[in-house]
Structure 1
Amino acid sequence: MPKAGLIPKKYLLVQPVMMRVVVGLLPCLAGAVFFFGWRPLLVTLVALVAGTAAEAAFTLRQGKPVTSAVFVTCLIYSLSLPPTVPLWMVAVGIVFGVVFGKMAFGGFGYNVYNPAMVARCFVYISFPIALTARWVPPFGSPVQGLLGWVPPVDAVTSATPLRLLQAGQDIPLAPLFFGNISGSMGETSALLVLLGGLFIVYKKAAQWRLAVSCLLGAASTATVLYLVRVPGVPDPLTYLLAGSLLFGAFFVVTEPISGPKTKPGQWIYGAAIGSLTIVLRRYSNFPEGVMFSVLFMNTFVPLLDRAAKLFQEKRRAQATTS
């Protein structure tokens, strides 16, 4: 990634917080290469080039620099895609996300919706077969991944962990934890997601309340559904490790611009996303619900913050008069 001094400041605004998130995403990117070969790296490079160019087309003509936040958007977006996704779809999706999810609102600091999820939602809805039915199993070992381009095309399958869970099948926890299982190229390994997620929380590049509340909301909802024996709902730990829930909790829900700024709003926002994700997984036609849950709750962020501030002001007024 570009460092301060390598590119003039008038072209690139290096944001230390965002660069820490980039570092936190690197374990997931490395895992994508280990499990699915070198093609995920090309997918990521295409997203970075197209996304940065899309933002530059707006900012440079206004005399403003490109922000390093776009690197985070491009990495999150690319890591949420299947390893075999066509490269032109990668470019189209990230350009749409940057332009209509960020620049249309005024650029960095003004976006209402998470631009990475806007990009992911656009390609998910526009190209459903490529995004939902062309998953590949991982290579047998990291060595094979480092020596390979992509797993064999004749091994293409739609049997992702969440699809198997919906069908009532059991999945061992070990593959979900280590990541040697089919799925989005940067989201399969709970271990690598946790390493990167805990790093950005430790470095204060992500608000811990958002990540914790999301996981608590998901865990509590999954527990209730499991205890009442809803068909197709596995034990809560399996549900937490499967799919993109962990990745979303640490790297998507914690996006600072589109999320709440008040502490009560952050708890409600994160918990609602986690709970809604589990409900959508079980009762909608989509196997994964993080993307839709985040975009849905982005809409209510101003109301959450306003309600939290009014409640806090009321409490302070009551305290002064008592």
Structure 2
Amino acid sequence: MMRTVIISTIPLILSSIYFFGWRVFLLLIAVTIFGVLTEYVFEKKNNKKVSEAIIVTSILYTLTLPPSTPYWIAIVGIIFGTIFGKMVFGGFGRNVFNPALVSRAFVYITFPAPLTIQWSKAAVGFPGGFGTYITEGIETISQATPMLIFRETGSMVSMKNLLIGNVSGSIGETSAILIILAGIYLIYKKVASWEIMVSTILGFTGLSGILYLTGNSQIPNPLFGILSGGFLFGAIFMATDPISAPKTKEGKWIYGIIIGIVTVIIRGYALFAGGMMFAILIGNTFGPIIDEGIKAYKKHKKELEDKKKGVVI
């Protein structure tokens, strides 16, 4: 399952090199090395091997970072996320929160400037970023990420650019087409929950559509919101983490709707332009509770049905 996720990210990694330069690949290598070493230190004393999941965590975490993120900050993030998002809960399969998002949230809050201000322009033409270490930096807000541009000026980047990915933003979150194709591949391989993907989009579209139609200037049209700000990347790769997401079918729908709704609220009324990262972590918090509630409801419903049939419990 982990190898399937890794395969699905390869087009995103290649496109990120084209858009932003070879630095993103070197950053990915550095993060993966330190992620693996961190898990190795903890698993060695228990005579356990490093799981392939840490490679997935390292890749997904790196893809959420700006291209110019300092190496040391990215490394500190993966070490923190591996320890406090995974190992403190007992290691692989026991984490409550998505470790990649724990890493991202930590560096986002601790080092806000490199994570929110310093962005790079997306390359165009041939050879694009394949011919440079990193593309030119952005100096003004009018050239920043699509969500920042909308928040500051009210302008929206063209849908074509959002689909292709030649916009500034986090390393692997810019190309909507490649992310959607990756999602289709994961669903085909039965690795990621389509229920969570669809419900997240429905929750987001429902609330953002209502607010947009009622004239809330902070809320862009739903399609723009879906294609920007890392929403699709989060819905397909992060929210569907099988360990931190609910296990029941009904729970997955509730979980996804919660994430979609919370994303709209954070984007429109909080300080954060994105919101998807925190929305998923909030969803992770409610995941186990949702499952327990679903199980309790089903048990109670079965007891009532059995009583109606005259079955002694």
TM-score by length of 2: 0.95
The match for 1:166 is 151
Task: Report % sequence identity.
Answer: 41
| Number of residue pairs matched by the alignment | 305
Q: Distance in 2 between matches of 1:156 and 1:63?
A: 50
The match for 1:151 is 135
The match for 1:103 is 87
Unmatched runs of 5 consecutive residues or more in structure 2: 309-313
Q: Distance in 2 between matches of 1:206 and 1:83?
A: 27
Q: Which amino acid aligns with 2:280?
A: V
Of 161, 165, 169, which aligns to 1:179?
165
Q: Distance in 1 between matches of 2:126 and 2:22?
A: 11
Please state if 1:62 is matched with 2:46.
yes
The match for 2:223 is 237
Residues 203 and 258 in structure 2, CA contact (< 8 A), matched pair in contact too: yes
Matches within 5 A, 1:1-322: 17-141=1-125, 143-153=127-137, 155-158=138-141, 159-167=144-152, 168-322=154-308
How far the C-alpha of 1:317 sits from its partner, in A, is 2.2
TM-score by length of 1: 0.92
Q: Distance in 1 between matches of 2:282 and 2:128?
A: 40
Q: Distance in 2 between matches of 1:237 and 1:72?
A: 28
How far the C-alpha of 1:126 sits from its partner, in A, is 0.6
Q: Distance in 2 between matches of 1:227 and 1:311?
A: 36
How far the C-alpha of 1:52 sits from its partner, in A, is 0.6
How far the C-alpha of 1:150 sits from its partner, in A, is 0.8
Q: Say if 1:28 and 1:142 are closer, same or farther in 2 by CA, change over 3 A.
A: farther
Q: Distance in 2 between matches of 1:172 and 1:152?
A: 21
Q: Which amino acid aligns with 2:307?
A: T
Question: Counterpart of 2:217 in 1: which secondary structure?
Answer: coil
The match for 2:311 is none
**Residue deviations 1:238-260 (CA, integer Å, cap 9, x gap):** 11101110000000000011111
How far the C-alpha of 1:196 sits from its partner, in A, is 1.1
Q: Distance in 2 between matches of 1:141 and 1:161?
A: 21
Q: What RMSD over aligned residues (CA atoms) do the two structures have, in Å?
A: 1.1
How far the C-alpha of 1:142 sits from its partner, in A, is 5.0
Q: Say if 1:142 and 1:212 are closer, same or farther in 2 by CA, change over 3 A.
A: farther
Residues 278 and 289 in structure 1, CA contact (< 8 A), matched pair in contact too: yes
Residues 146 and 156 in structure 2, CA contact (< 8 A), matched pair in contact too: no
Q: Which amino acid aligns with 2:42?
A: F
Q: Distance in 2 between matches of 1:108 and 1:267?
A: 25
Q: Distance in 2 between matches of 1:156 and 1:124?
A: 20
